[in-house]
Amino acid sequence: DTAVSQTPKYLVTQMGNDKSIKCEQNLGHDTMYWYKQDSKKFLKIMFSYNNKELIINETVPNRFSPKSPDKAHLNLHINSLELGDSAVYFCASSQAPGQGLREQYFGPGTRLTVT
């Protein structure tokens, strides 16, 4: 009965590889997010989707591409991985604006290590 799940939880890969992180929520939320948390714990929003539509696309390298096949899923694909991509990536979901309480529910995070 996990609310927001992410796979994998740990990902170790070499520079130049392509990898994907999957996210699913069973809360019925319309809005999903990807965050990057760096080594200093700072949370930076990367993308946000509302009903499968991209609504926030912060300044991230275009090697990062989100995909939302339906409103319960938001995957993150990363091409040509670099050392600086090493971080913890969080998926989150919330109600859409004006639809009720706006707290975000987070997945467990994916620790990506690029060697």
Partner 1 sequence: AQTVTQSQPEMSVQEAETVTLSCTYDTSESDYYLFWYKQPPSRQMILVIRQEAYKQQNATENRFSVNFQKAAKSFSLKISDSQLGDAAMYFCAYSSNTGNQFYFGTGTSLTVIP
Alpha helices, H only, 1-115: none
Rounded to a whole number of angstroms, the minimum distance from the CB of residue 49 to partner 1 is: 10
> Among residues 42, 80, 113, 115, which is the contact residue for partner 1, using CB under 8 A?
42
Spatial distance between the Cα atoms of 41 and 7, rounded to a whole number of angstroms: 21
Nearer to partner 1, 15 or 56 (CB): 56
Rounded to a whole number of angstroms, the minimum distance from the CB of residue 79 to partner 1 is: 25
Nearer to partner 1, 29 or 63 (CB): 29
User: Any contact of residue 101 with partner 1 (CB under 8 A)?
Assistant: yes
| Extended beta strands in the chain, E state | 4-7, 10-13, 19-25, 31-37, 43-50, 53-57, 64-70, 73-78, 87-94, 105-106, 110-114
Please, are residues 82 and 64 in contact by the beta-carbon 8 Å criterion? no
Nearer to partner 1, 8 or 16 (CB): 8
User: Any contact of residue 5 with partner 1 (CB under 8 A)?
Assistant: no
Please name the amino acid found at residue 35: Y
> Among residues 55, 63, 82, 115, which is the contact residue for partner 1, using CB under 8 A?
55
